Amino acid sequence: MPQLFLNQKSCETTADPERVNRAMTELAKAIMAVAKLDRPGTELVMRESLKALQLAQGHHVSKWAGTPSAKNGLWAFLLKMQTKWPHQKVFPDGETFSDVAHSHEGVPTPELGFAHLMGGVGISLPVEERWDADRLTLVQEQLVDEDDVGIVTTEVELRHVASREHAEKHRPWIREQAEAALRGDLSSIRTGAELWERCADLFPHLLFLPHVETQLRQLRQYWVHPVRKRLAEMERAVLVWDAATQPDGPQWESKVTPEHSGRKRDYCKFIDLDGTEQYFDTHLRFTPGVGRLHFRFLKEIRRVHIAHIGFKLGE
């Protein structure tokens, strides 16, 4: 189910017109190759309308649209493909991603960052050598508010396409995503609302306090996959838990820690599913940012009760 985000930086060169036109033809053919693998799920996402696109400085897309290759079906194909612009059309309601920035080799690349945050694919005009890769490493800078950290900088990897060769490299993943969407698998979940609708079936050992439904339905897009992963890890840990050999509880697959006493007292008390007031100070993390999942494990019924999924409590 690839959303293809056009990297605008790749369209800001001063390359000669013939080279730019060849590059655009190759990119169009690469997009077509992706669409052939998953036409219903493939979306071309751009900052502006395709008809307004500049392929290079002083080189409007109309110059390419008049070439024989473009006239032979590629231009008409791209016009049908581009259904999402500007980028905000594919963002979750109310999301702007204003607290996170991405760059590649020191150059700001917001569109590639959007592709990463949305679980999509970056696409670039293959004019410069730096875009000739099926994967790119981006530097992600996330504004957080935790213990005066300020900005957290990490490296993230992005699937990327600038040629038919790159599209071929991603063929197994694209087909897997398309088949998963048809089956309704966990890997096809793209929104918090979809995740909530599947929770009861996918995670039978995890029970959620009532307000967590709203938290999941309104989950930020870039947290959907990390939260999905953490819930799957917890379900698996409870499923294989052996009380005889693990008397303290399951072996969680990510770092789990308690809150210190002050924060526990101030923020971690919730009304549990049985109507009693309980502390949910045990928590695990998910990124980017300060994502927290607070829970209790009830050994006697072999279930996890989850009280919070979202930002750090009290923030």
DSSP code string of 152-214: EEEEEEEEEESSHHHHHHTHHHHHHHHHHHHHT-GGG--SHHHHHHHHHHH-TTEEE-TTHHH
- Contact, 118 vs 90, CB < 8 A? yes
Instruction: List pLDDT tens digits, range 226-268.
Output: 898 899 889 888 988 888 888 888 988 788 888 888 889 999 9
pTM of the model: 0.66
CA distance 101 to 103: 7
For residue 89, give the nearest of 280, 221, 243, 212 by alpha carbon.
221
- Percentage, residues of the chain above pLDDT 70: 93
Q: Phi and psi (nearest 5°) for 86?
A: -70, -175
Which residues make beta-bridge pairs with 139?
103, 155
Instruction: List pLDDT tens digits, range 33-63.
Output: 999 988 777 889 999 999 999 999 999 999 9
For residue 289, give the nearest of 216, 226, 215 by alpha carbon.
226
Rg of the chain over Cα atoms, rounded to whole angstroms, equals 23
Q: How many angstroms from the chain centroid is the CA of residue 221?
A: 6
Strands 100-104 and 135-143: antiparallel
- Percentage, residues of the chain above pLDDT 90: 55
In this prediction, residue 301 has a pLDDT band, given cuts at 50, 70 and 90, of very high
